[in-house]
A and B are shown apart, each in its own frame.
Chain A
């Protein structure tokens, strides 16, 4: 049982390049999330998917797109990377839609945009 997996673990991009961050969970969870973590700012929600086939914007969606490919997989795409998108990206999943559902996080992708 791997939990939440993310690829790649590290990535360096040049400004304007595009890339997709992959996330998969094997816990049969309905909901999945993408966060970015910057020093002193905690975790900020980029996009989330409450269930397969639905996606919604979070707090900081500009410059990103997502795809809920199936129940297991939720990808995050940067179409034209900018230095401001340098961050650590975390994918998470949760198994209930109740207000206090616990989230399980992947190990993160450290992205640097030059």
Chain B
């Protein structure tokens, strides 16, 4: 069974601060996806990284896939109240597990004005 550990579980910061969320595993994943979920809604995909060492940027969000494809990070620069939400990482296994994702526990981010 593959596991993804996300940290921290909760993050409460002031507007303008920077933050990093980590997603770690002892297993190798074919891909790593990051989702954002707002209260009362389903998760929405932010990005997919598939190559070890890959870095993707989405405005103020920077996503990185570890060289060994076992870990990933999400860095937010100058956080805004609109960034508030639950952030989930999810790993894709490949092989006979086509289409199945393993989700981390999530990080609840609150950005105060």
Q: Which A residues are within 8 Å of any B CB, using their own CB?
A: 4, 31, 33, 35, 40-45, 48, 50, 58-59, 90, 92, 94, 96-108
Q: How far is the CA of A44 from the CA of B3 in the complex (A)?
A: 11
When distances are taken between beta carbons in the complex, the residues of chain A under 8 Å from B99 are: 31, 33, 48, 50, 94, 96-97, 101
Output the least CB separation between A28 and chain B (Å).
Answer: 15
Q: Which B residues are within 8 Å of any A CB, using their own CB?
A: 1, 4, 6, 9, 30-31, 33, 40-45, 48, 50, 88, 90, 92-95, 97-101, 103-106
Output the least CB separation between B61 and chain A (Å).
Answer: 16
Question: Which of A33, A45, A98, A108 is close to B41, meaning CB atoms less than 8 Å apart?
Answer: A108
Q: How far is the CA of A51 from the CA of B31 in the complex (A)?
A: 21
Residue from the set B9, B30, B98 with the largest chain A CB neighbour count within 10 Å: B98
Assuming the contacts A48-B100, A99-B93, A100-B30, asked whether A43 and B88 have C-beta atoms less than 8 A apart, the reply is: yes
When distances are taken between beta carbons in the complex, the residues of chain A under 8 Å from B97 are: 99
Assuming the contacts A50-B99, A99-B30, A101-B92, asked whether A42 and B45 have C-beta atoms less than 8 A apart, the reply is: no
B98/A108 in contact, CB under 8 A: no
Secondary structure class of chain A's binding surface, majority of residues = loop
Secondary structure class of chain B's binding surface, majority of residues = loop
17 cross-chain CB contacts under 8 A:
A41-B105, A43-B103, A48-B99, A50-B98, A97-B99, A99-B31, A99-B94, A100-B48, A100-B92, A100-B94, A101-B98, A102-B33, A103-B101, A105-B44, A106-B42, A107-B41, A108-B40
Q: How far is the CA of A94 from the CA of B98 in the complex (A)?
A: 11
Question: Which of B1, B45, B105 is close to A102, meaning CB atoms less than 8 Å apart?
Answer: B45
When distances are taken between beta carbons in the complex, the residues of chain A under 8 Å from B100 are: 45, 48, 58
Knowing that A42-B103, A101-B98 touch, tell me 20 more A-B residue pairs with CB under 8 angstroms. A33-B99, A40-B105, A40-B106, A42-B6, A42-B88, A42-B105, A45-B100, A50-B99, A98-B98, A99-B94, A99-B98, A100-B31, A101-B99, A103-B33, A104-B45, A105-B42, A105-B44, A107-B42, A108-B40, A108-B41
